[in-house]
Amino acid sequence: QDRYAYEPVFLQAVQEVLQSLQAVLDRNPQYERNKILERIVEPERTISFRVQWVDDSGQVQVNKGFRVQYNSAIGPYKGGLRFHPSVNQGILKFLGFEQIFKNSLTGLAIGGGKGGADFDPKGKSDMEIMRFCQAFMNELFHHIGATIDVPAGDIGVGGREVGYLYGQYKRITRSYEGVLTGKNLLFGGSLARTEATGYGAVYFAQSMLDARGKSLEDRTCVVSGAGNVAIYCCEKLYQVGAKPVTVSDSRGMIHDAEGIKVDVLKQVKEVERESLSRYAELVPSAVYTPVSSYPEGRNAVWSVPCFAAFPCATQNELNLEDAKTLLANGCHCVAEGANMPSTLDAMHAFLDAGICYGPAKAANAGGVATSQLEMAQNASMQSWTFEAVDNKLRQIMNNIYINAAETAAEYGAPGNLVVGANIAGFRKVANAMIAQGV
Ligand code: NDP
C-alpha cells in the first residue's frame, strides 16, 4: 500500500479485484505457490517517453507519453490510448490492470495494456493534433505490432487521432497491418466499432434485467459523459425503447426531460467539438447546469430520478452520496460504460441494495471485444457487415453476463457480478501464466 501511495487509483483498482479473489485463492493453492498475485499486479513492462512537437505558433511543446504492457499471458497487449492532461503512470496502471481481466472475460485471445499522454486536445487545431499524434508514434512504434501490442482509442483519442497515429506508423515501418483498432473504414476499420462500447453497455444491462424478468422498455435512463461511449449508449437506449434524459461533460450537464436528441449531441460533440452549453442553445427543452452549480461534492447527473444509470464519462464520477441518491430515487440498474466510474463505497452500496449492478470490466467490454473482431477482419482481409459485428457484440455481452453470473454463484456470491467478473477474468489469465512457467 505505502509503496504505491502516489498511485491512488491504481491501488483502488487492485483493492477491488483482490477483495473478490479470496474464494478462488482458497480453492486453488497453486495460485499462491506460483506467486500469481505478486506477478499479476506488476506490469510486464512500462515504457515512458518524451513527446516533442511544434505548435501552430512555432513553439516547441513537450509532453510525457506512456505505454503500460501489463499482461500478455493470453494474447498480445490490447488497450486504449488516453490523451488528457490528468494522465500519469498511476492512472494508466489502473486502466491497464482492469484491462487484463476485462479482456480475459470477453473470451477472446487478448492480453492487457494501456497507454497515453498528458496532452490536452482541447483547443488544439487539427494540425496540432496531427503533429502531436505523429510525434507520439515516433516513439511508440518501437514497442507495438499487430501480434505484439495493438492500441486503440480512449478519452481524447477517437477516429481522427487513430487515423493520424496509423498513418505515422505506416510511414515509419512501411507496413500495412492491423496495429491499431478503431481505424477509419477506409483503411481497415470495422463497422460497429465506434458504437460498440456504448451499445455493449446497454446489451449488458438488458442481460442483467432479463434475468430478473425486467426490461428497459419505456424506462427513463440517465447517462453521464458526452463522448464516444455516452453518445452510442444513448443511441442504443432509444433502439431498445428506453429514454435517456441526461448527458454531461467536464463543464456541465444537460437534462432534457423530452429525451436527449442524439443527432444534436453528435453535431455538438463529434463535429463542432463544443461544450454541452451549445447543445442547450440548440434544444429549447434542454436545461444546462454548469459544474459550478452541482451539489457540493456530487455529480448532478445522479440526482435525476431514473430506472437505470449509465456512467460513461470517467473514473470516480459517482460517489457514495450519488449512489444513495440514485437508490433513494428508485434506480434498479447501473451499467458502467466508463472505467471504474463508481468509488469503492458506491459500488458496495449498489451490491448491498441488490440492484442489477454491471461493473465496468464486464459492462464496457464491448469496445475491446469489437476491437478484437477488427483484428480478426484485418488478419483475414475481410470486412463484415454492421449487422454481423453487432450480432457478435450482443452475443459476447450476453456470454460475459452468463460467465460472470455463473462464476459468482459457483463461488458463493450469487448476483454479485463484481466477484463473478473478477474471478472469471482472473482464473483464465492465472492458469495461462502458470502453464507458461516463470
Ligand atoms: P471521450 O473522450 O470520447 O469522452 C469522454 C467524455 O467524458 C467527455 O464528454 C468528457 O468531457 C467527459 N469527461 C472526461 N473527463 C472528465 C472529468 N474528469 N469530469 C467530467 N467529465 C469528464 O472518451 P470515451 O467516451 O471514449 O471514454 C469514456 C469512458 O469510457 C472512459 O472511462 C474510458 O476509459 C471508457 N471506455 C472507453 C472505451 C471506448 O471504446 N472508447 C472502451 C471502454 C471503456 P469533455 O468533452 O468536456 O472533455
CA 274 to chain centre: 22
Q: What contacts 127, CB < 8 A, 6 or more positions away? A: 56
253 confidence band (pLDDT: 50, 70, 90) = very high
Q: Which phi and psi (to 5°) does residue 305 adopt?
A: -60, 140
Choice from 249, 277, 291, 310 to test ligand 1 binding pocket (greatest atom count within 8 A of CB): 249
The alpha carbon of 282 and the centre of ligand 1 are apart by a number of angstroms equal to 23
> Residues 35, 64, 93, 114: which is the catalytic one?
114
Count of helices and strands (H, E) across the chain: 16, 13
Q: Which three cell numbers stand for residue 86?
A: 490528468
- Helical (H) or strand (E) element with 100: helix 89-105
- The response to whether 267 counts as a known ligand-binding position is no
What number does the ligand 1 atom closest to the CA of 86 have?
A: 18
> Which cell is 435 given?
502453464
Where do we find the cell 455493449?
Answer: 200
Task: State percent of the chain over pLDDT 90.
Answer: 99
CA of 279 to the centre of ligand 1 (A): 18
Using pLDDT thresholds of 50, 70 and 90, give the confidence band for residue 288: very high
Ligand 1 pocket list (CB less than 6 A): 153-156, 158, 197, 225-230, 249-251, 312-314, 337-339, 364, 367
Q: Which atom of ligand 1 is nearest to the CA of 371?
A: 40
What the block records as the C-alpha cell of 150 is: 495493438
Three cell numbers, residue 296 = 457540493
Which is the closest atom of ligand 1 to the Cα of 339? 32
Q: Where are the alpha helices (DSSP H) in 107-249?
A: 126-140, 159-173, 193-210, 228-239
Q: Using CA positions, which residue lies closest to atom 11 of ligand 1?
A: 249
**Residue pointed to by grid coordinates 463543464:** 251
380 labelled binding-site residue: no
Residues 6 or more apart whose Cβ sits within 8 Å of residue 294? 253, 300
1 has a pLDDT exceeding 80: no
- Is 392 catalytic? The answer is no
Where does residue 206 rank: exposed (0-12), middle (13-18), buried (19+ CB within 10 A)? buried
Identify the pLDDT of residue 3. Answer: 83
Atom of ligand 1 nearest to the CA of 102: 43
Residue pLDDT, tens place only, 384-430: 999 999 999 999 999 999 999 999 999 999 999 999 999 999 999 99
What is the C-alpha to C-alpha distance for residues 285 and 418, in angstroms, rounded to an integer? 38
Q: HSE of 325 in the Cβ direction (CA atoms, 13 Å)? A: 17
Q: Which of 50, 38, 44, 42 shows the shortest CA–CA distance to 7?
A: 42
In whole angstroms, what is the distance from residue 173 CA to residue 179 CA? Answer: 11
In the 3-class helix/strand/coil scheme, how is 282-325 assigned residue by residue?
Answer: HCCCCEEEEHHHCCCCCCHHHHCCCCEEECCCCCCCECHHHHHH
At 256, the pLDDT band (50, 70, 90 cuts) reads: very high
Residue with the smallest CA separation from ligand 1 atom 8 is 227
Tell me the sheet residues that pair with 52.
62
CATH code of domain 194-358: 3.40.50.720
Look at residue 92 and give its three-state secondary structure.
helix
Q: Could you tell me what percentage of the chain is helix, strand and coil, using 3-state DSSP and rounding each to the nearest 5?
A: 50, 15, 35
Q: Does 183 belong to an annotated binding site?
A: no
The residue contributing the CA closest to ligand 1 atom 17 is 250
Instruction: Give the closest residue (by CA) to ligand 1 atom 46.
Output: 249
CA diameter of the chain: 63
Percent of the chain with pLDDT over 70: 100
Domain with CATH 3.40.50.10860 in the chain: 2-9+42-179
Residue among 55, 227, 60, 54 nearest 125 (CA): 55
Please say whether the beta carbons of 196 and 323 come within 8 A: no
pLDDT in tens, 22-42: 999 999 999 999 999 999 999
Report the CATH fold assignment for 2-9+42-179: Rossmann fold (3.40.50)
Using CA atoms, how far apart are residues 19 and 215, in angstroms rounded to an integer? 31
CB 373 within 8 A of CB 347: no
Do residues 51 and 92 lie in contact, with contact meaning Cβ atoms separated by under 8 Å? no
Angle subtended by helix axes 320-328 and 344-353, to nearest 10: 30
The yes-or-no verdict on residue 2 having pLDDT over 80 is no
Which residue of 91, 161, 228 sits with most ligand 1 atoms within 8 Å of its CB, as the best mutation to test the pocket?
Answer: 228
Across 145-154, average pLDDT = 97
Nearest CA residue ID for atom 30, ligand 1: 338
Q: CATH 3.40.50.720 residue ranges in the chain?
A: 194-358
Q: What are phi and psi of 236, to 5 degrees?
A: -70, -35
**Euclidean distance between CA atoms 432 and 72, whole angstroms:** 10
Q: Is 102 helix (H, G, I), strand (E, B) or coil?
A: helix
Does 170 belong to an annotated binding site?
A: no
* pLDDT digit string, tens, across residues 323-381: 999 999 999 999 999 999 999 999 999 999 999 999 999 999 999 999 999 999 999 99
In sequence order, the 6+-apart residues with CB closer than 8 A to the CB of 288 are 252, 253, 254, 276, 277, 279, 280
- Helices assigned H by DSSP within 289-436: 320-328, 344-353, 360-363, 366-380, 386-410, 417-435
